[in-house]
Amino acid sequence: MTDLANFDRQNDRLLLFVPETNVTSSNLEPYKLAQDLKVQGYQVNMVLGQSSNHTPLGTDCQREQVHEICTEAQRAISGVYGIETVDLSPRSHQRYTTQPRRTKLRIPDASAAQLVHTARQLMLEGKGNESFDLYEQAIDSFPEFAVEILAEVYEIGRARQQNRYEQYQSRYFDFNIKPGQRVLDVGSGHLPFPMATDLAEYAPEDNSYGRAGQAFNNDAGLPVTACSVEKMPFKDKEFDFVYCSHVLEHVTSPEKACQELMRVAKRGYLETPARVTDLFFNTARISNHHWNVQYRNHALHFYEYTEDEITGLNCDINLQSITSPQSPREKALAALMVLKSDKINTMLYWNEGFNFKVHRNS
3-class DSSP state of 20: helix
Cα gap 308→112, rounded to integer Å: 43
For 113-126, the pLDDT digits (tens) are: 999 999 999 999 99
- Does residue 89 contact residue 16 with C-beta atoms inside 8 Å? no
Strand partners, 226: 201
Percent of the chain past pLDDT 90, that is, above it, reads: 62
Tens digit of pLDDT per residue, the chain (362 long)? 234 444 444 433 445 544 444 444 444 555 555 555 555 555 555 444 444 444 333 333 333 344 444 444 444 333 322 323 333 333 333 344 556 788 999 999 999 999 999 999 999 999 999 999 999 999 999 999 999 999 999 999 887 667 899 999 999 999 999 999 999 999 998 889 999 999 999 988 776 665 566 788 888 999 999 999 999 999 999 999 999 999 999 999 999 999 999 999 999 999 999 999 999 999 999 999 999 999 988 899 999 999 999 999 999 999 999 999 999 999 999 999 999 999 999 999 999 899 999 999 98
Strand partners, 225: 200
Helices vs. strands in the chain: H and E counts, helices first: 15, 13
Domains and CATH numbers, the chain: 3-93 (no CATH), 175-359 (3.40.50)
Per-residue pLDDT at 217: 87
- Does residue 54 contact residue 17 with C-beta atoms inside 8 Å? yes
Per-residue pLDDT at 56: 39
DSSP 8-state secondary structure symbol assigned to residue 228: B
For 153-180, the pLDDT digits (tens) are: 999 988 766 789 999 999 999 999 999 9
Per-residue pLDDT at 190: 84
Residues 6+ apart with CB under 8 A from 72: none
CA dihedral sign of residues 38, 42, 47, 52: negative
Cα gap 2→49, rounded to integer Å: 15
Cα gap 354→362, rounded to integer Å: 25
Cα gap 115→137, rounded to integer Å: 8
Per-residue pLDDT at 83: 28
Per-residue pLDDT at 336: 97
Per-residue pLDDT at 101: 84
Per-residue pLDDT at 40: 54
Per-residue pLDDT at 99: 65
CA dihedral sign of residues 60, 62, 65, 69: positive
Identify which of 196, 199, 265, 268 has the alpha carbon closest to the alpha carbon of residue 237. 265
